[in-house]
Amino acid sequence: MVSGHMLVAFTFLALASFVLASDPSPLQDFCVAIDEPKDAVFVNGKFCKDPMLAKADDFFLKGLNKPGNTSNQLGSMVTPANVVQIPGLNTLGISLVRIDYAPYGLNPPHTHPRATEALIVLEGSLYVGFVTSNPENRLFTKVLYEGDAFVFPEGLVHFQFNVGKTPAVAFAGLSSQNPGVITIAKAVFGSNPPISDDVLAKAFQVDKKVVDRLQAQFWMDIN
Q: Say yes or no to pLDDT of 1 above 80.
A: no
**Residue 193 · residue 109 · CB < 8 Å:** no
Share of the chain above pLDDT 90, in %: 71
What's CA 157's distance to the chain center, in Å?
10
- Order across the sheet with 33-34: list the strands: 33-34, 46-48, 41-43
Share of the chain above pLDDT 70, in %: 83
- Higher-pLDDT residue of 188, 16: 188
Is 110 one of the annotated binding-site residues?
yes
Q: Say yes or no to pLDDT of 171 above 60.
A: yes
- Order across the sheet with 126-131: list the strands: 139-144, 126-131, 157-162, 106-111, 182-183
The confidence score (pLDDT) of residue 32 equals: 83
Q: What is the pLDDT of residues 89-110, one digit of tens each?
A: 988 999 999 999 999 999 999 9
**pTM of structure:** 0.83
Domains observed in the chain: 20-180 (2.60.120.10), 183-222 (no CATH)
The confidence score (pLDDT) of residue 130 equals: 98
Mean pLDDT of 123-130: 98
- Higher-pLDDT residue of 6, 162: 162
Q: What is the pLDDT of residues 30-87, one digit of tens each?
A: 788 887 666 566 666 677 888 888 999 999 999 999 999 999 999 999 999 999 999 9
What span, in angstroms and rounded, lies between the C-alpha atoms of 87 and 60? Answer: 9
Mean pLDDT of 188-210: 96
Report the SS3 class of residue 201: helix
CA dihedral 47, 53, 54, 58 (to 10 degrees): -70
The confidence score (pLDDT) of residue 80 equals: 97
The confidence score (pLDDT) of residue 14 equals: 43
The confidence score (pLDDT) of residue 218 equals: 81
The confidence score (pLDDT) of residue 42 equals: 61
Question: By C-alpha distance, which of 77, 93, 220 is closest to 154?
Answer: 93
Q: Say yes or no to pLDDT of 211 above 60.
A: yes
Q: Say yes or no to pLDDT of 131 above 90.
A: yes
What span, in angstroms and rounded, lies between the C-alpha atoms of 175 and 158? Answer: 16
Is 107 one of the annotated binding-site residues?
yes
The model's confidence at residue 200, banded by pLDDT at 50, 70 and 90, is very high
Q: What is the pLDDT of residues 75-94, one digit of tens each?
A: 999 999 999 999 999 889 99
**Strands 126-131 and 117-123, sheet pairing:** unpaired
Is 112 one of the annotated binding-site residues?
yes
**Residue 222 · residue 107 · CB < 8 Å:** yes
What span, in angstroms and rounded, lies between the C-alpha atoms of 191 and 194? Answer: 5
Q: Say yes or no to pLDDT of 19 above 60.
A: no
